[in-house]
Amino acid sequence: MRNKQLTTIAVASLAVVALAGCTGSDPSPKGSAPSASSTPADDAAGSEYAIPDVSGECVDGTATIVDDSSNVTIDGDCADVVVEASNSVVTVTGAVVNLTFNSSITLVNVATVDTIVFVEGANGNKAATSSTPVVTDAGEGNTVAAE
């Protein structure tokens, strides 16, 4: 009986979805010329948003990156780098002992790194390095690869 109910619910849901596509209206006025569709290049050209460049600081051996949607550069070595910023690109020009991701959708380019930790909830990140670090990954969809 339960399977029959689930099947009935599934069929009814599909019917609602199918009908939803039929009930839309054309928002363009009748008799108007069709407009050209925009391309990603057109959309970017009209955008006023620029990804900010930020200098990261290593203070007493630790740099904590908190600037979302930014290009962050840390010049030189830094023992501990903690990335809390999401949707960013972080570049470390020197060596890092411990790199910790507490972010999502962030790329970290690092010359060398010994240890990388992706904490729980840190998803979709990438560390690009020529070294072979020890990796602990409690998140999802994270990668460590050569530059």
Burial letters 67-101, b for 16+ CB under 10 A, else e = beebebebeeebebbbbbbbebbbbbeeebebbbb
- Domain assignment of residue 130, yes or no: yes
The secondary structure element, H or E, covering residue 82 is strand 78-83
Cα–Cα distance between 29 and 82 in angstroms, integer? 53
Is 68 inside a domain boundary?
yes
Residue 1 domain-assigned (yes or no): no
pTM value > 0.85? no
9 belongs to a structural domain:
no
**pLDDT tens digit sequence for 5-23:** 434 444 444 343 444 444 4
Per-residue pLDDT tens over the stretch 66-97: 999 999 999 999 999 999 999 999 999 999 99
d(CA 17, CA 27): 20
Phi, psi dihedrals of residue 110, rounded to the nearest 5°: -135, 135
Work out how many domains the chain is built from and give that number.
Answer: 1
Q: Report pLDDT digits (tens) over 104-135.
A: 999 999 999 999 999 999 999 999 999 999 99
Burial grade of 64 (CB within 10 A; 0-12, 13-18, 19 or more): middle
Q: How confident is the model at residue 146 (pLDDT cuts 50, 70, 90)?
A: confident
Domain range enclosing 61: 53-145
